Amino acid sequence: MLPTLAPDLTWSRESTLAAQAITANAPRAPGVYLILQSPDYPRYRGTSRILKIGMSRGNLQTELLNHLGRLAVANRLARVMIRKGITVTFATVLTDSAQASDLEARLLREYEDTHWDLPLLNAQRGYLRSGDAHYRTPLNP
């Protein structure tokens, strides 16, 4: 079952997060992706299957293959992948590659709005400087 995040996107079928499956299924196009686990895991508010929200401005296939070896998230992902049931789904971007970055930021905001934190493997917020002003509360109202 696909996550309910961004239901307006056309998400691919889930496939195993493994080199052979990524090579066979992921396009060489810009887009966004979700790394998922089954079952859900607890978040600050609620539960989620989403371990990471990411994007590629040029080639989803290469970006996903990088997660299996050389990216900073690879070490954290390797610890999680000891468990079975780690999958990936993606949605391609049909316009320019900058849209992938904007879409990733939107997905991170939606996730944070729902769970009050970010996915386990997202190390930083998907906001530009001061882009999270809607979360700030004035210190002196």
pLDDT for the residue 33:
94
Distance of alpha carbon 11 from alpha carbon 60, whole angstroms: 13
Q: Report the percentage of the chain scoring pLDDT > 70.
A: 72
Alpha carbon 105 to chain centroid distance? Answer: 10
Q: Shortest CA distance to 94 belongs to which of 6, 27, 34? A: 27
- The answer to whether residues 26 and 61 touch, using CB atoms and an 8 Å cutoff, is yes
Q: Shortest CA distance to 110 belongs to which of 48, 61, 58? A: 48
Over range 92-113, report the average pLDDT.
84
What class does CATH assign to 15-120?
alpha beta
Give me the residue spans of the domains in the chain.
Answer: 15-120
| pTM (two decimals) | 0.79
The two tokens of residue 53 are 């929200």
The type of residue at 46 is: G
pLDDT for the residue 93:
79
pLDDT at 5 exceeding the cut of 90: no
